[in-house]
Amino acid sequence: MLISELLSSNRKITEDTNASPRPDYAPSFGYRSQAGELVTIEKSQSIATAHRAKNIISDDVAKIPFQVMQKIGRSIKQVEADPITRNMAYLLSVSPNIWGWTPFQFKKASIEWQLFYGNNYIWNPSVGPRQLLILPANRTYPVFDLDGNLWYRHTFSNNQVAYIPAVEILHQLINPDSTGFIGRGVITFARETFGRQLAANKTQSRLYSQGMMPAAYIQMSGDLNAEARKKVRTSYEEQMAGSENAYRLAVFDDKITKFEPINMNMKDAQFLESIDANDRDICNFFGLSEHMLNRGKEAYNSNEQKYLEYLQGTLDSYLVPWEEAARIRWLSRDEQRTQYFKFIREALLRMDSKARAESMAIRIQNGMMTPNEGREKDDMSAYPDGDVHYMAGNILPIEKGVMNE
């Protein structure tokens, strides 16, 4: 089934070129950095630090349960998944589309588009079974028609161009441009850092391929034409290039009057320091602490404290906009009165068994949850009379207290 068949209509609107925002970047084709490297999405992910940073953020967002909550008066409960109606609770907790994607797969792919392209487009077609589809950000753009209506122009894999109504698209973005309608990914701002790191990696690889001898010059007796110089160079490289030939003895005949290696001390040239500095910059671009990418020293007293800072300083900038946008795009106006979306952030706060038990006990003893609610968090069955709230008996409300003069 072609996803283009899910179009509610295939209107050919007239774009308002003056009002429609235009991307000021070209991540698909890449940027030419001052280091001389072409920085593309694929190349930037070949950098170990950038690849790891992308996976940490996207994996952690994908691991957090995304639930539909309902609040009526002071009663708050989770909306149950319904496979018959395929409500949003089902799409987000069981499978988002008819191809059998898992919620983890769906959330991870969404964030990865957002990280590198700056935009993530989730399509909720009004035709066919209810489902959530991710439209490639490199082939989808927001546009306005002459009446000021917002549409999303998408080119499908069969090269069919279609305009999808804005009401069917949930558009998430980071680093918005001046129009506020188009986001810009990490690569837009980190292009020079990525370029330097790609150039450094290439230099390092060439160093090994040349047998740890970066360069040398040979002085020959007599004049050589271009072909002769090429033959001498090729002959030398065949004997000395490659890590298996490192530090081998070079033997020359009497036609070579002088051989002078051009040695470069990588440490003195601050080569290794520059690679390290680039990695630190990449950590900052992604908003991650160095120890999370196996760099630096961890300075936290507990896992919970570490993840709490990471959650508030990095992940919430992806979670909160998604929660807010989902309420607007995925719920009807009537549903918006009582329902909302929530990432269960507690799933990310890692506590050891002792700290978790103490936290649970404090909540139960202070009437914040029942014993059965605590057992449910550990996937344990409820027990009779376990739905009672408890409170310490030596604490009473002021208005019911007895004061003795």
Q: Average pLDDT over the chain, rounded to whole?
A: 82
Q: Which of the four pLDDT bands, split at 50, 70 and 90, describes residue 243?
A: very low
The pLDDT of residue 404 is 47
What average pLDDT does range 188-207 have in this prediction?
Answer: 83
Q: How far apart are CA 94 and CA 97, in angstroms?
A: 9
The pLDDT of residue 246 is 53
Task: Give me the phi and psi of 212, to 5 degrees please.
Answer: 65, 15
Closest CA to 344 of 60, 57, 56: 60
Give, rounded to a whole angstrom, the gap between the first and last alpha carbons of the chain. Answer: 82
Structure tokens at 23: 């991307």
Q: Which H or E run includes 67?
A: strand 66-72
Residue 306 contacts by C-beta under 8 Å, 6 or more apart in sequence?
298, 300
pLDDT > 80? residue 155: yes
- Estimate the share of the chain in helix, then strand, then coil, as percent rounded to the nearest 5: 40, 15, 40
Is beta strand 161-165 parallel, antiparallel or unpaired with respect to 150-155? antiparallel
Q: How far apart are CA 335 and CA 121, in angstroms?
A: 22
Top-confidence range, 188-192, 259-263, 368-372: 188-192
Q: Which of the four pLDDT bands, split at 50, 70 and 90, describes residue 89?
A: very high
The pLDDT of residue 405 is 45
Q: What is the pTM of this model?
A: 0.78
Residue bearing the bigger pLDDT, 405 or 175: 175
Residue bearing the bigger pLDDT, 52 or 3: 52
Q: Which H or E run includes 162?
A: strand 161-165
Q: How far apart are CA 97 and CA 129, in angstroms?
A: 9
The pLDDT of residue 22 is 77
Residue with tokens 């070579």: 256
